[in-house]
């Protein structure tokens, strides 16, 4: 479903991630995007913040400080405002497209720097969508949430 979204298909730069634990893997999508000419940027942990760097394939990723695969040292950096679409993992999402991450606020700080016209796409398994999550002032909601069964818009409609 994710690869069929027009917001992803027409993007020149897409921020993706290397899945850990029970996150939805997106490497196949990343490979298809690169084959279609898009550039894929992966997060790099830098203290309490996330930076983004380009990777040409999954072989260009190595385990970072917390064991998450990320682009290696000299990989070209990308600013958040240069990304057209962000694909963001979460432990839970709600029907209003709010996200519960792993508690560090890293993605919230990164996404705060995104362009207003960039598309923020949460991704999780359908059983990880709940009715409502609490929201703090710094939380950044998604424009869409994609699961293996449905796509949600912020008004709770399934698209």
Q: What is the pLDDT of residues 25-62, one digit of tens each?
A: 999 999 999 999 999 999 998 888 899 999 988 778 99
Domains of the chain from N-terminus onward: 2-152 (3.40.50.10420)
CA distance 89 to 51: 16
What's the whole-model pTM score? Answer: 0.94
């Amino acid at each position: 479903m994710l690869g069929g979204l027009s917001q992803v298909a027409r993007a020149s730069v897409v921020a993706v991630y290397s899945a850990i634990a029970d996150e939805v893997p997106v490497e196949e999508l990343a490979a298809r995007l690169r084959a279609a000419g898009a550039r894929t940027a992966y997060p790099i942990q830098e203290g309490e913040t996330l930076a983004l760097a380009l990777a040409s394939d999954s072989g260009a990723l190595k385990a970072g400080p917390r064991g998450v695969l990320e682009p290696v040292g000299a990989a070209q950096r990308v600013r958040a405002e240069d990304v057209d679409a962000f694909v963001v993992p979460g432990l839970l999402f709600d029907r209003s497209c709010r996200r519960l991450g792993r508690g560090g606020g890293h993605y919230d700080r990164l996404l705060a720097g995104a362009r207003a016209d960039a598309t923020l796409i949460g991704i999780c398994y359908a059983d990880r969508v709940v009715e409502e999550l609490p929201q703090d002032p710094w939380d950044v909601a998604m424009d869409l949430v994609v699961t293996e069964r449905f796509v949600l818009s912020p008004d709770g409609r399934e698209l």
